[in-house]
Structure 1
Amino acid sequence: MESREKELIENLAAVNEDVADAVAKTGRKTGSVAVMAVSKLHPASDIEILYQAGHKCFGESYVQEALAKQDELASLDIDWHYIGGLQSKKAKYVSGRFCAIHSVDSIKLAELLNKKAQSLGVVQNILIQVNTAGEEQKSGVSEEQLPSLIEGISALDNLKLTGFMALPPFFGDPEGARPYFARLRMLSEGMEKLFGIKLPELSMGMTGDFRVAIEEGSTMVRVGTRIFGQRLS
C-alpha cells in the first residue's frame, strides 16, 4: 500500500472510531451520525482512495473545484455535499448536482435553486444555514428570519428542506461551541413543532469539536484536516 493511501485510510478509520465512540457514549443509535470527509483543496485522487476504501460522503466548498471533481470521478457513486457559501449567480451550477446543499440562507437563493431543479425535473435536498451566534462576517439566516424563510421554502416544490447547518464561532476549547450546537438543536425542534414538519438533519461539528456536536444532536460531522491533512492551498 502506498504511503498516501495508507495515511488516508488510517486517518479515516481513526475518525470513524472516535465518532462511533462519541455516539455510543451519548446512548444514540449506532450509525446515527454520518462522517462527511471535507475534501476541498485536496485532489480527486484522495477522494478516490477513500471511496475505494468504502467511504462515500464528501463535502466541497468551491463551485468550480467541486464540479471539476464530479466530472473527473463521474463513474463513482459518490454522495456529494455542498457546504460552502453560495452566491446567487452560481446557484444554477449546483442545484441537481449534490445530495444536499447545506448553505441556503435566503429566499432568493432558494428560489434560484428551485428554478434550476425544476428545469432538471429533480427535487434538491437543502439545509438552512443558521447564524446562531449572530456573527456579521458569517453567512446564515438569523434566528428571527428563520420562520419566514422556512415558510417561503415550503412553497417551492422542487426543494426539500431536511434540516439545519451551523458554523459556531471558533474556540480553542470545544466546550465553547456547545451552546451554539445546543441552540441549533432547540431551533430545529421548535421549527418542527411550529410547522408540523420533520427536520432530521443537523449538520454541525468539525475536526476540533465534533464530539461535543454529537452530544448535542449532530447527525453529520464535517471533518477535513484530520482526514486529509493540511490543505494544499
Structure 2
Amino acid sequence: MNTGKYSSESPLAQRLARIRRRIGEALHAAGRQDDVTLVAVGKTWPAGALLEAWRLGIRHFGENYLQEALAKQQALGHCDITWHFIGPIQSNKTRAIATHFHWVHTVDRLKIARRLSQQRPEWLAPLNVCIQVNVSGEASKAGVAPEAAAELAAAIRELPNLRLRGLMTIPAPAADFDAQRRPFRQLRQLRDALGLEDLSMGMSADLEAAVQEGATLVRIGSALFGPRQPRRG
C-alpha cells in the first residue's frame, strides 16, 4: 500500500508500533493464539490524523461524538473504514448512528436497542452491538448492572436488525495490574455465561490487563494519537 508522506518514522507510526508490540506481548503472556482488533479512538482529532492512521494500516475507528464523527466520515469516504460508535447514546441520535456506523459499543437500554434496530436501513447488514456493563458499579458511569445483562441480551437477540456481538466496559481506574484485571475478568466470565463472542475492553492505560483477560477489541486513543485535543464548539 502506498503510504504517501506517512513513513514508518513518523511519530504516529512509532506510537502505533509500540501499541502493537504491547498487544503482542500481552497475547503471548496470556498464551492466546488469536488476535485483537485495535479500534483507534479519534475523538477531538481531525480527519487528517485518522487518514494518517489509515495509511499506516488501521481500519477500525471509534468515535464518541456523533456530529464530529459524521464530518470525519464524509471527509474519509474514500477509505475502507469500519466505524465504531463508542459514546453515550441519546434517543435523538439513534437514527444517524444506525445509518452511519458498523458497530455500537454502548447499548445499555432496551429502548435504545429497539430504536437502533427500527432505524437501521434495510439495505445495510445488521448493526453489530455490544452491551455496556458497569462492572465497577460507579454512579458516574453508564452501563447496565452485571446482573441485568442477561435479560437485556435476551431482548436484543430478538431484534431483527441488530447482531449482538458481546460486552463492553469502562472500569474504574486502577494502578495495580491485578486490580486492573479483576473487572475485565468479571466481564469475560459474564460474556462466557451469555454465550457471546466479543469483549470490548481496555484502553491506553490498561490494555495489557484487558488483553490478558480476553479482550477482542481494545479502544486506544491517547497512546496512539497523543494527548487529547481541546474539543471545538
**TM-score of the pair, normalised by structure 1:** 0.92
Unaligned runs of 5+ in 2: none
Structure 1 residues 41 and 156 mapped into 2: Cα distance closer, same or farther (>3 Å)?
Answer: same
Which residue in the other structure is 1:160 paired with?
A: 163
1:35 maps to 2:38: yes
Q: Shift of the alpha carbon at 1:99?
A: 2.1
Q: Give the secondary-structure state (helix, strand or coil) at the position aligned to 2:62.
A: strand
1:17 maps to 2:14: no
User: Residues of 2 paired with 1:20 and 1:167: CA distance?
Assistant: 22
Q: Give the secondary-structure state (helix, strand or coil) at the position aligned to 1:164.
A: strand
Q: Shift of the alpha carbon at 1:154?
A: 1.4
Q: Give the secondary-structure state (helix, strand or coil) at the position aligned to 2:87.
A: coil
Unaligned runs of 5+ in 1: 193-198
**Residue deviations 1:208-229, cap 9 Å, x none?**
1110111111111111111111
Q: Which moved more, 1:44-53 or 1:142-151?
A: 142-151
Query: What do you get for the CA RMSD once the two structures are aligned?
Result: 1.7
Within 5 Å, which residues of 2 pair with 1:122-201? 122-192=125-195, 199-201=196-198
Partner residue of 2:12 out of 8, 18, 21:
8
After TM superposition, which residue ranges in structure 1, 4 or more long, deviate above 3 angstroms?
A: 118-122
User: Residues of 2 paired with 1:143 and 1:54: CA distance?
Assistant: 35
1:77 maps to 2:80: yes
User: Residues of 2 paired with 1:9 and 1:49: CA distance?
Assistant: 9
Q: Shift of the alpha carbon at 1:121?
A: 4.7
Q: Which moved more, 1:106-115 or 1:165-174?
A: 165-174
Contact 1:131 1:138 in 2 (8 A): yes
Q: Shift of the alpha carbon at 1:41?
A: 0.6
Contact 2:84 2:104 in 1 (8 A): yes
Which residue in the other structure is 2:119 paired with?
A: 116
**TM-score of the pair, normalised by structure 2:** 0.92
Structure 1 residues 147 and 43 mapped into 2: Cα distance closer, same or farther (>3 Å)?
Answer: same
User: Residues of 2 paired with 1:230 and 1:101: CA distance?
Assistant: 24
Q: 2:162 is aligned with what amino acid? A: L
1:227 maps to 2:224: yes
